[in-house]
Amino acid sequence: MRAAVFKEAGKPWVVEERPDPTPGDGEAVIKVGRCGICGTDLNMTSGKGYDFPCDTILGHEFSGEVVAIGKGVTSLKVGDRVTALPAAGCGACDMCRAGQVVMCPNMSPYAGGYAEYMRIAERTAVQLPAALSLNDGALVEPLAVGLHGVRLANLPLGAKVLVLGAGAVGLAATFWAKRLGAGRVVAASRSERRRDMALALGADDYVLTGEGEAERVTQALDGMPDYVFEAAGAVGLLQQSINLVKPNGHVISLGFCMAPDPVIPGISTFKQVKLTFSMAWTVPEFQYAVDMLDSGHVEPRHMITSNIGLDALPDMIETLRGPHNETKVHVDPWA
Ligand SMILES: [Zn+2]
Ligand SMILES: [Zn+2]
């Protein structure tokens, strides 16, 4: 099969021939339909110390059609259209029973969506209803990331919510906050670029960050935010969130910053801020995201800005490392 491979930091990705995968016990192989490019694909191939292993096929926001099933698989059959978590656990430990498969001590990664075929685990696969496209299926992972964070917030009805960052995860947090109890939701970003997108996903208003941001936020929300979702992952964003949130407020970090990000505990203490870090997703969250799209809440489709083939992926990765106008780029390995 053909696959786009991360070779090493600082070198372009390479499209090359790789052996077709075969399903192990409890696994299926899918013909990849779409795979979304994620910020972590850029950050964790940048040579800053937390990179994926060299010579790896990445891609963890995928959907596709089952073409082969392994031993013991009962819930999937050839022809099923599915998405799946890009990880599976042992299925038996405390973490797995809580649905937190990424924290299973025996977690196995199942990335590899930048290829014509890939393996998935039966245990983490979710069927796509007929009304949903393969593009929709590839939106489920980033939607589930936002959903997990919003669930950790446990929003009371009418809560005032600020989302810092209007990338895919911030947009997903906006979408879910609006559907899971929030009152006013305001999206904030450094640029105007994603204003329309944030409003389309449910934000009541959109403000620019920078000089005077606290006033703009308070005005747009008619008060300070009870909840701040940090969804940009840049250094300084945690303290910015703490500064903006209301006393006794809750900051939820979804940004996945991989550099030291200092906060002043005294300011957090004065405001008695609660700070939560949100990690990934669970199988029920994947299913819930699929069900929400299937019920007609297809606003997240606005996030998709480009569909490209495998051959265009190496150049797109380099484009996305600089200033660009994309939000969610979907790769169709068969285009
Ligand atoms: Zn991702
Ligand atoms: Zn486990």
Which CATH number characterizes residue 114's domain? 3.90.180.10
Beta strands in the chain (DSSP E): 2-5, 14-17, 27-36, 61-69, 81-84, 87-88, 108-109, 117-121, 125-127, 161-164, 185-189, 205-208, 227-230, 250-253, 274-277, 304-309, 328-332
116 and 186 in a single domain? The answer is no
Round to whole Å and give the CA distance between 126 and 312.
28
Distance in Å, CA 40 to ligand 1 centroid: 6
Q: Could you tell me if residue 177 is inside a domain?
A: yes
| Centre of ligand 1 from the C-alpha of residue 59, in Å | 8
Q: Work out how many domains the chain is built from and give that number.
A: 2
pLDDT at 49: 78
Q: Which of 45, 33, 29 is nearest to 316 (CA)?
A: 45
**From the CA of 105, how far away is ligand 2's center (Å)?**
6
- Domain identity same for 123 and 150: no
Q: Are residues 235 and 264 in the same domain?
A: yes
59 is a domain residue: yes
Distance between Cα 36 and ligand 1 center (Å): 8
Instruction: Clarify whether residues 183 and 113 are in a common domain.
Output: no
pLDDT of the residue at 50: 83
For residues 233 and 315, state if they share a domain: no
Residue-range definition of the domain harbouring residue 272: 146-277
Q: Same domain for 261 and 318?
A: no
Give the closest ligand to the alpha carbon of residue 103. Answer: 2
- Residues 152 and 269 reside in one and the same domain: yes
The answer to whether residues 56 and 6 touch, using CB atoms and an 8 Å cutoff, is yes
Residues 182 and 273 in one domain: yes
- In the prediction, which pLDDT does 99 show? 86
Angle at 200 between CA 319 and CA 167, to 5 degrees: 30
Domain annotation covers residue 290 = no
> How far is the centre of ligand 1, averaged over its atoms, from the C-alpha of 186 (Å)?
23
Angle, helices 237-244/213-221, rounded to nearest 10 degrees: 50
Residue 219 Cα distances to 59, 133, 139, 162, 216, angstroms: 40, 39, 32, 12, 5
The ligand that comes nearest to the alpha carbon of residue 113 is 1
Indicate the residue type of 190: R
Task: Give yes or no: residues 272 and 302 share one domain.
Answer: no
Name the strand (E) or helix (H) holding 136: helix 134-153
Q: Is residue 141 domain-resident? A: no
| 89-120 burial: b if 16+ Cβ within 10 Å, else e | beeebebbeebbbbbbeebeebbbbbbbbbbb
Q: Which pLDDT belongs to residue 31?
A: 98
Residue owning tokens 């970003």 = 189
Which residues contact residue 114 at a Cβ distance below 8 angstroms, ignoring those fewer than 6 apart?
3, 4, 5, 35, 57, 58, 59, 310, 313, 331, 333
| pLDDT number for residue 217 | 98
From the CA of 145, the nearest ligand is 1
State whether 195 and 259 are in the same domain. yes
269 belongs to a structural domain = yes
Statement to judge: residues 270 and 328 lie in one domain: no
Per the domain annotation, does 284 fall within a domain?
A: no
pLDDT digits (tens, 9 = 90+) for 210-225: 999 999 999 999 999 9
Asked whether residue 156 falls in the same domain as residue 272, the answer is yes
Kindly identify the ligand whose nearest atom is closest to the C-alpha of 102: 2
Whole-number Å distance, alpha carbon 60 to ligand 1 midpoint, is 6
Amino acid at residue number 28:
A
| CATH code: domain of residue 150 | 3.40.50.720
Looking at the CA of 169, which ligand is closest? Answer: 1
Instruction: Report residue 52 as tokens.
Output: 């994926």
The residues whose Cβ lies within 5 A of ligand 2, an ion, are 89-90, 93, 96, 104
> Separation of 158 CA from ligand 1 center, angstroms?
29
Q: How far is CA 114 from CA 17, 102, 107, 149, in A?
A: 12, 21, 21, 26
Q: Which of 108, 106, 141 lies closest to 24 in space, CA to CA?
A: 108
C-alpha gyration radius of the chain: 20
- Nearest listed ligand to the Cα of residue 142: 1
C-alpha of residue 77 to centroid of ligand 2, in Å: 25
Separation of 109 CA from ligand 2 center, angstroms? 13
Q: Is residue 286 part of a domain?
A: no
Q: How far is the CA of 151 from the centre of ligand 2 (A)?
A: 22
Interval between CA 271 and ligand 1 midpoint (Å): 32
Predicted confidence pLDDT, tens digits, the chain (335 residues)? 999 999 999 999 999 999 999 999 999 999 999 999 999 999 899 888 788 999 999 999 999 999 999 999 999 999 999 999 999 999 999 999 988 999 999 999 999 999 999 999 999 999 999 999 999 999 999 999 999 999 999 999 999 999 999 999 999 999 999 999 999 999 999 999 999 999 999 999 999 999 999 999 999 999 999 999 999 999 999 999 999 999 999 999 999 998 899 999 999 999 999 999 999 999 999 999 999 999 999 999 999 999 999 999 999 999 999 999 999 999 999 99
Question: Which ligand minimizes its atom distance to the CA of 99?
Answer: 2
Domain assignment present for 287: no
